[in-house]
Amino acid sequence: MSDESRQYRTAAVIPAAGRGVRLGPGAPKALRALNGTPMLIHAVRAMAASRAVSLVVVVAPPDGAPEVKRLLDTYALPERTDYLVVPGGGTRQESVRLGLDALPEDIGIVLVHDAARPLVPVETVDAVVQAVRDGAPAVVPALPLADTVKEIEPAAQGEPEPVVFTPERARLRAVQTPQGFDRDTLMRAHDTVAVAGEGATDDAGMVEQLGEPVVVVPGHEEAFKVTRPLDLVLAEAVLARRRANDGF
Ligand code: C5P
């Protein structure tokens, strides 16, 4: 394989090992159904929909890799794409790292996509890949905020929280996935940046800590993260709208 084709060969790593406690009791979040199909399968299809993506690596719950493998065998997926399943870790950051460790040598561009964002349109995936191909070491899709955001000082349970700062809303963006990276840059970030506590929730933030530039491309309202019960209602409404539009 030429250096140029390695440079552009793209894999998507999908961390899907979270429990999803904010969604309420039940199966791990990625395995919950949206219109009868597990959220993870929607997310895998969203990545494989991009012709740029030649491999999808799913990071399963630590004890759930066989079940996830069975799931990928059960649902129809594009044949031009390869699929791998690896067991995940205790934090999202560890899960992403385990996914990166499974990448074959010939991959030059890596997307990291939350299983919890099952409905990201292919246009967004392609825009992220293109920006990395154009030379950005790290790319995040993001949207302007509807709400004003305030930084607060955490207070004791039940006490009012004092506001310490109000950033200018027009300069803020809500970050989505897939985030796209030059593979070597992302590996360097995972090798050198230590994040305390729950670990990094955002891979691009680790690249920022390396001092490398991170750029934003337009996100999409359908790339929202399914976190709370109401998000499931919205996701099913989006799928119903797509089906209705496909009918015309
Ligand atoms: O919990 P949150 O919604 O922030 O999780 C974001 C993504 O990271 C989800 O797709 C989740 O499955 C994944 N994750 C993981 N391993 C963990 C925790 C979260 O793969 N230990």
Extract the tokens encoding 245.
């539009």
Atom of ligand 1 nearest to the CA of 96: 20
**Ligand 1 pocket test target in 95, 120, 202 with most atoms within 8 Å of CB:** 95
Predicted pLDDT at 174: 97
Residues in the chain, overall count: 248
* pTM for the full predicted model: 0.94
3-state secondary structure 74-134: HCCCCCCCEEEEEECCCCHHHHHHHHHHCCCCCCCEEEECCCCCCCCCHHHHHHHHHHHHC
Read off the DSSP letter of residue 50. S
Predicted pLDDT at 1: 62
- Establish whether residue 201 lines the binding site of ligand 1, counting it when its CB lies within 6 angstroms of any ligand atom: yes
Atom of ligand 1 nearest to the CA of 225: 3
% of the chain at pLDDT higher than 70 = 95
**Segments of the chain with pLDDT less than 50:** none
How is 164-218 classified by DSSP, letter by letter?
EE---GGG-EEE-S-EEEEHHHHHHHHHH----TT--S-HHHHHHHHT---EEEE
Number of H helices, E strands in the chain: 8, 12
- Establish whether residue 23 lines the binding site of ligand 1, counting it when its CB lies within 6 angstroms of any ligand atom: no
Domains and CATH numbers, the chain: 3-141+176-246 (3.90.550.10)
Atom of ligand 1 nearest to the CA of 89: 21
Predicted pLDDT at 196: 67
Predicted pLDDT at 248: 62
C-beta separation of 18 from 91 below 8 A? no
pLDDT tens readout for residues 181-229? 999 999 999 999 877 667 777 899 999 999 999 999 999 999 999 999 9
Extract the tokens encoding 105.
């040598």
Q: How far is the CA of 24 from the centre of ligand 1 (A)?
A: 15
Beta pairing, strands 10-15 & 109-112? parallel
